[in-house]
Amino acid sequence: MTLAELEQSYGESMAAVRDATDATALDQVRVRYVGRNGLIPALVKQMKDVPAADRPAFGKRLQTWRAELEELLEARKGEVAAPVASGPVFDATLPGQWSVPGVEHPVTQVIAEVARIFGKLGFTVADGPDVETRFNNFTALNTAAHHPSMDAADTFWFDDDLLLRTQTSPVQVRVMTAHKPPVRIITPGRCYRRDTTDATHSANFHQTEGLYVDTRPVSLADLKSTLAYFAREMMGSKVGVRFRPHFFPFTEPSVEVDFSCHICGGSGCRVCKQSGWIEIAGAGMVDPRVYRFVGYDPEEVYGYAFGMGVERIAMIKYGIKDIRHLYENDVRFLSQFG
Ligand code: PHE
């Protein structure tokens, strides 16, 4: 290449840099002239072929060319826009998408465990609606019309007849009305009461009813042994169980069932109200009047029923000191039950 040709290439290269309209084009010019296999390095290699007399001038010009070109490239870099990407952009520096698998709510876990344990004893799961009739929730359960639990201060009424069930016991009525004995069911589900919320009460809570009615003799001893078995399966062999005489309109005799407090080990704490025991269930032998309401002959059937508080079981099983934790859906709390 002669000096004149060199000048011409110089002019072309500078023009190409000025004409480049985006960073990609600019980079192509850079590669063409000063890249490893670009024109300027190639000319440096060809220096030995240049006539000796021209060589110093030729070498100097190559140097100034390169310097000027690189300076202009640098200046133009700031002027041209970043290349516009077409199609989806993958940014490897963005944080990934976390998918944290959920866990079953402790209330759901307890219900599943209750169903599993009673399932071993031959109980199946029955269901009923949250919105019930006065008949199913009270009347057929032998609850007198003036009973305080029917008061609007305790029960959420929609009208004179419909209400949010205050217990899972109406499912007893539904099942017995629809099926001949023997029936052996548990019925987990939501219940509603106008309770003021505190550490152990909620206006919306869960119960699971149990009902066993047969034409063969069924006694209070069967009920006690069944619930004692359940307690040990659910809480472990160390749990204490006690039965206290009580009254329910739909059972006779009736008992309340307490489990020893798992949280304090029986020595007394806030959750068991310093008593060492937690009330878990109401139970008893199904009252003959209930049988008449559902069309069974009280002379021909025997049976027991119980209703357990699911949250109460969850609280003592997992050492939860405030029932409200079960409804706040704080992931830090819930994720401990995975
Ligand atoms: N339904 C009663 C309650 O909510 C519990 C219970 C159920 C009692 C079945 C006896 C028999 O308190």
Cβ of 137 closer than 6 Å to ligand 1, yes or no, is: no
308 CA closest ligand 1 atom index: 5
More confident residue, 173 or 6: 173
Q: Could you report the per-residue pLDDT of 142-163, keeping only the tens digit for each?
A: 998 888 888 878 999 999 999 9
> Residue 290: helix, strand or coil by DSSP?
helix
Q: Which residue among 141, 143, 154, 169 has the greatest number of ligand 1 atoms within 8 angstroms of its CB, and so is best to mutate?
A: 169
Cβ of 205 closer than 6 Å to ligand 1, yes or no, is: no
Cβ of 210 closer than 6 Å to ligand 1, yes or no, is: no
Q: Could you report the per-residue pLDDT of 19-67, keeping only the tens digit for each?
A: 988 888 888 999 999 999 999 999 889 888 888 888 898 889 989 999 9
Q: Which residue among 250, 304, 310 has the greatest number of ligand 1 atoms within 8 angstroms of its CB, and so is best to mutate?
A: 250
Ligand 1 centroid to residue 281 C-alpha, Å: 7
The predicted pLDDT at position 150 comes to 82
> Residue 251: helix, strand or coil by DSSP?
strand
More confident residue, 79 or 246: 246
Long-range contacts of 156-160 (CB under 8 A, 24+ apart): 156/192, 156/193, 156/194, 158/131, 160/134
Cβ of 282 closer than 6 Å to ligand 1, yes or no, is: yes
- Please report, rounded to a whole number, the percentage of residues in the chain having pLDDT higher than 70: 98
Ligand 1 centroid to residue 221 C-alpha, Å: 18
Q: Could you report the per-residue pLDDT of 161-197, keeping only the tens digit for each?
A: 999 999 999 999 999 999 999 999 999 999 999 989 9
Q: Which two tokens stand for residue 93?
A: 């520096």
What do you get for the CA distance between the two ends of the chain, in Å? Answer: 78
Q: Which of 97-101, 150-154, 254-258 has the highest mean pLDDT?
A: 254-258
DSSP, residue by residue, 78-121: HHSBPPPP-SPPP-TTSPPPP-PPP---HHHHHHHHHHHHHHHT
The predicted pLDDT at position 220 comes to 97
